[in-house]
Amino acid sequence: MLDSLEDVTTRLMADQARVSDSTDEARVLAEQARGKLEQGRSAIEDTIRIFSGLTDLVVQLGDRMAGFTEAMTRVQRVSSSIETIASKTNMLALNATIEAARAGEAGRSFAVVAAEVKKLAHDTRAATGEIAGTIASLTREAEAVTSEIKAGVDKSRVAQGSFTRINETVRDVAEIVALVDRQTDGIAQSTSHIQASVDSVKSGLSS
Residues 19-27: contacts with CB under 8 Å, at least 24 apart? 19/187, 19/191, 20/188, 20/191, 20/195, 23/184, 23/187, 23/188, 23/191, 24/188, 26/180, 26/181, 26/184, 27/181, 27/184, 27/185, 27/188
Rounded-to-integer distance, Cα 164 and Cα 155, Å: 14
- pLDDT, one tens digit per residue, over 102-137 is 877 777 787 788 888 888 888 888 888 888 888 888
CATH 3.50.30.30 assigned to domain 10-202? The reply is no
* Residue 3: pLDDT over 60: no
* Residue 2: pLDDT over 60: no
Read off the amino acid at residue 15: D
What's the predicted TM-score (pTM) here? Answer: 0.51
Q: Which of the given ranges, 55-64, 125-134, 147-156, 179-188, has the highest pLDDT on average? A: 125-134
Angle at the Cα of 96 from the Cα atoms of 91 and 101, rounded to 5 degrees: 130
* Residue 1: pLDDT over 60: no
- pLDDT of res. 202: 63
Rounded-to-integer distance, Cα 132 and Cα 82, Å: 11
Domains of the chain, residue spans: 10-202
- pLDDT of res. 8: 62
* Buried/exposed code over 114-150 (b: 16+ C-beta within 10 A; e: otherwise): beebbeebeebbeebeebbeebeebbeebeeebeebe
Asked whether the CA dihedral 136, 141, 147, 153 is positive or negative, the reply is negative
* Residue 178: pLDDT over 60: yes
- pLDDT of res. 53: 80
- pLDDT, one tens digit per residue, over 28-79 is 777 777 777 777 778 788 887 887 887 788 788 878 888 888 888 888 888 8
DSSP for residue 104: G
Q: What is the mean pLDDT of the chain?
A: 78
* Residue 159: pLDDT over 60: yes
Q: Are 205 and 6 in contact (CB under 8 A)?
A: yes
Q: Outline where the chain has alpha helix (H).
A: 2-103, 108-206
Taking Cα atoms as reference points, which of 28, 146, 138, 22 lies closest to residue 75?
A: 138
Helix axes 2-103, 108-206, angle to 10 degrees: 180
